[in-house]
Structure 1
């Protein structure tokens, strides 16, 4: 009888613990029902942050920023942007659509329109302009080129537009591609130092935006210097400034202009350093206050997307091995600590999901790679077009069979190929054979191969197939060798490859009632974020989602 009672009591207790409706989690002062939805979802994208920098510098992080996410959240060490063209617009599109480029249609930061042969910027929309700001040709003003929905779109649909989705970034593409079709995006204007939206979203800014810009907060950094945050000994493993930067670009870096006053030169310089990120987070706070994010009725979640752009600019200019990149990440960590503290007081982190990832990683500067005995360099795509056209002219007697470079692809002139009675496959194969002999080129995939899905069954083949869009992409898809990249510059570095240094990015999720903290070595992808958030928010999954729900990290 005693055993029966013990067994029955044990089963009863287990039933109570396992029943979601009865399960609660103690959170500071308030018990949070485990099945409840967060009041606010904050999606942070650090532009150009490779996972290896989190690992390399984690011991120097402060208590409340990235360390808080590492200790209190789920951290995936093997998370990847799992497509082959790792660029800012492509990576941002993956975060909340859960889709690869072959579906979402953002194949690069810019590409050549196959019909007009004109340059198309990823968030370009001639029908819309910035509010109160100059709108140059090709400016990013709407998500017209994004072909699929985001989690934010599904969230607003499910709540009858009660949920608010607001995004902010130093780059237009960083804000717009997180906002989706129905959110509201604000982006940094490098000519004035203000944040603005576009007429796609509204005709005039709300009052809180005007109030934020009173007193010109963007001017407070004029004459300030970016100096090392940590003691010199903290940077002992970094590459010396003179190996990655000219003498006048190493730290300290003073922000000013040749005119001696705040102007477009000064506002543009701010992007390569910590201050635009500081302003972006300040503007995000203003958005929380102005839009009352996280203050909806129970069961209605708001979303705040923040793309922090400056780490990308720093890494382009100096490389991820530099003291500047190292210091910038440490400063960003401290900024995040202050922002998390603000969210905790305003909304409560126990009512909030905070997610952090990156749009891509970064390779070393080629000159640094060479010191490590690596074959490394830069490939000038436009020069390659001239070279391949000379080879095709000799073989087929027809000039300009390759019409444009649209990195990392080339566009063939199919009208000319047909007019001259050539076989497209013959031209593709001849071009491919030549390109494979050129320095820095690892692979070339032709339109015929890509349309037939005839790429090799390898990681590289899968990533490049995912990155190619049948209607938009070019006809010859080039892959640079490891440690090479497509670019014509003489210094700095860039990204865009299918290799791990470009694909392996942070993926951290924090939210006590919903997330199981810990270090996860399982393979994960950035496209897993959208299905996971949809699951937590009890939403219809985004239609094009290629990812999975990260069930192992959920309570």
Structure 2
């Protein structure tokens, strides 16, 4: 409760050894789960799970770690590690070069911004819909495990997802599931007309109770004693410019719950508590796990708060540390709920993350690491000026949307320049800029990067021939694109961004224990397909995690 504290690629497979299958009873003799729960903690680095594990309570993350399989070397195995791409991987088992989600946003060939789940043909139910709000999975080019589950059951299986972000819900739901997302203006969870024309009665009852208003004028305070946070980065000194200190009080300028108040809930444990409240309402309202047909249901829960907190304060902060502890206690209550409603012996749980996080640049600099905040706009200007001097023509850079650079190929042709020559010159210019570690050109990527380095493999997977830019930039380790002088981000192919938790729990199907072998989030969908005895998604490239199966 709030008051004192909220309790709220190509060639990719070549280097991946496949462990020998563990002895297991025949799949045909094992009853399928009644409910599969797939949880994605947005922006949770694997190292935070391990660093704080001794402080977790008994029923949440600790339960997963002790009673499930813990894959300690699991990765989001693509080079641009952002929310939309990571969520797309979880239940498709595919990489961006196949599934078509190349970022949260990108530019089309005319320079127009595209949002990963936008679709102007649909709108939110009972809520205002902006031009780039997420309303459908139209841009996801592949199917998902949920789609295969519904196909195999004759649509009797239910697939329901919920998230604090529209992309978190929509990309887990696939083509045939039903997604609900947090509305910033009202604090409600709404679906879109892609899925239905009006909400079912259970959703209307949830809205009528207004659970999002219970935090008003209450505060987020640390859950644990001060000594528990002794190894965290110190809070900033008190000032109007640095309000990043406990306690955080939820309020609005109007003096009553309104849009600015609901927005404040997102960078706190409150948004995740509300998400799990809604997930519980969905279990009851849709009878998930108690499907009268006996079919397996799938519940996807994307918990967005940790990403917002890490962006605002950095993963080294006391706020990030406490947020994970608060989330752990709320997950424990969620598991207790599932045990009462369905029975945890009938539930298979998977928990992972869409990406990790770098430390704030200033935190890294204090530890003598050359971390930079790279101004992409200034970088583009320098590149265009240098190309103009080199080729004696103007404006060869069409657009920049980091880490992508879009060249003006029409101008290149008009000036009778060679495409590859301009690309190579641009790459050399960019490589000389502070904070840039590598640059790959369209010509290189179309031919296939090859080579044995992990970085080249991950960047090749991240690039889509039809959608991506003409130069793909890789910042130096611990550097990132963006301005300002506070907060943290993610998006690179480095371990701090790719290494995420992967936990699977379900005593009938999953062998408990630590699994140290290299694993990918793309392995989740094929593994669940094996357990559920359904066809894997068409574009899945992951493997079945046989070492964790009973």
TM-score by length of 2: 0.94
Q: Does 1:143 align with 2:137?
A: yes
The answer to whether the aligner puts 1:225 opposite 2:219 as a matched pair is yes
Q: Specify which of 69, 73, 76 is matched with residue 78 of structure 1.
A: 73
Residue 122 of structure 2: aligned partner: 128
Q: CA deviation at 1:456?
A: 3.5
Give me the whole-angstrom Cα distance separating, in 2, the residues matched to 1:163 and 1:492. Answer: 42
Which residue number corresponds to residue 41 of structure 2? 46
Q: Closer, same or farther in 2 for the Cα pair 1:142/1:234, shift >3 Å? A: same
Aligned to 2:543: 548
1:511 aligns with 2:511: no
**Alignment partner, residue 381 of structure 1:** 376
Residue pair 1:152, 1:165 contacting (<8 A) in 2 also: yes
Q: Is 2:359–2:478's contact at 8 Å kept on the other side of the alignment? A: yes
1:515-530 mapped onto 2 (5 Å cutoff): 515-530=510-525
1:489 pairs with 2:484? yes
Output the CA distance in 1 between the equivalents of 2:31 and 2:258: 48
Counterpart CA distance in 2 for 1:384 and 1:60 is: 43
Q: What pairs with 1:196-215 in structure 2 (closer than 5 Å)?
A: 196-215=190-209
Cα distance in 2 for partners of 1:270, 1:172 equals 16
Task: Report how far residue 247 of structure 1 moved.
Answer: 4.2
Are 1:244 and 1:322, in contact at CA under 8 Å, matched by a contact in 2?
Answer: no
Report the alpha carbon displacement of residue 400 of structure 1 after superposing the two structures with TM: 1.7
Which residue of structure 2 lines up, in the alignment, with residue 257 of structure 1?
252
Secondary structure (helix, strand or coil) at the match of 1:48 reads: coil
Equivalenced residues, count: 527
Structure 1: 5+ residue runs without aligned partners?
1-16, 22-32
Following the alignment from structure 1 to structure 2, what is the Cα–Cα distance between the partners of residues 401 and 461?
A: 26
- Per the alignment, residue 426 of structure 1 pairs with 421
For the aligned residues, what is the CA RMSD?
1.4
Select 1:302's aligned residue among 288, 292, 297. Answer: 297
The residue matched to 1:262 in structure 2 has which SS?
Answer: coil
Q: Assess if the C-alpha contact under 8 Å between 2:93 and 2:542 holds in 1.
A: yes
Of the candidates 134, 139, 154, which is equivalent to residue 160 of structure 1? Answer: 154
Secondary structure in structure 1 of the residue aligned to 2:509: coil
Deviation >3 Å, runs of 4+ = 17-21, 243-247
Unaligned stretches of 5+ in structure 2? 1-22
Alpha-carbon contact 1:244-1:318 (below 8 Å) kept: no
**Residue 449 of structure 1 contacts residue 455 of structure 1 at CA under 8 Å; is this kept in 2?**
no
What secondary structure is seen at the aligned counterpart in 1 of 2:517?
strand
| 1:462 aligns to 2:446 (yes or no) | no
Cα deviation, residue 243, structure 1: 7.0
**2: CA distance, partners of 1:154 / 1:172:** 22
Distance in 2, Cα, partners of 1:434 & 1:68: 51
Query: Contact between 1:76 and 1:521, CA under 8 Å: does it hold in 2?
Result: yes
Distance across 1 between alignment mates of 2:39 and 2:274: 15
Q: List per-residue Cα deviations over 1:136-170 (Å, max 9, x = no partner).
A: 11111000100000000000011110000000000
Aligned equivalents of 2:256, 2:395: Cα separation in 1: 48
Deviation at 1:489, TM superposition (A): 2.5
Tell me the secondary structure at the aligned position of residue 236 of structure 2.
Answer: helix
Write the distance in 2 (CA, Å) between the matches of 1:551 and 1:269. Answer: 43
Q: Does 1:176 align with 2:192?
A: no
Say which of 266, 272, 281 aligns to 2:276: 281
Q: Secondary structure at the match of 1:242?
A: coil
For residues 473-494 of structure 1, the C-alpha deviation after alignment (integer angstroms, 9 at most, x for no partner) is 0000000000001112221110
Deviations 1:235-282 (A, max 9, x none): 000001117995422111001111111111010111000001000000
Helix, strand or coil for the counterpart of 1:354?
strand
Report the counterpart of residue 362 of structure 2 in structure 1.
367
- Per-residue CA deviations over 1:105-164 (Å, capped at 9, x if unaligned) read 1010000011x2100000010111000100011111000100000000000011110000
Summarize deviations over 1:73-112 as a string: whole Å, max 9, x none: 0001000000000000000000000001110010100000
Deviation at 1:544, TM superposition (A): 0.4
Partner of 1:362, secondary structure, is: coil
Mapped to 1, the partners of 2:394 and 2:328 lie a distance apart of 54
| Residue aligning to 2:350 | 355
TM-score, normalised with respect to structure 1: 0.93
- The question of 1:502 aligning with 2:518 is answered no
Match of 1:6 in 2: none
Structure 2 residue matching 1:241: 3-state secondary structure: coil
* Structure 2 partner of 1:37: 32
1:244–1:492: 8 Å Cα contact kept in structure 2? no
Cα contact 2:236–2:244 (8 A) shared by 1: no
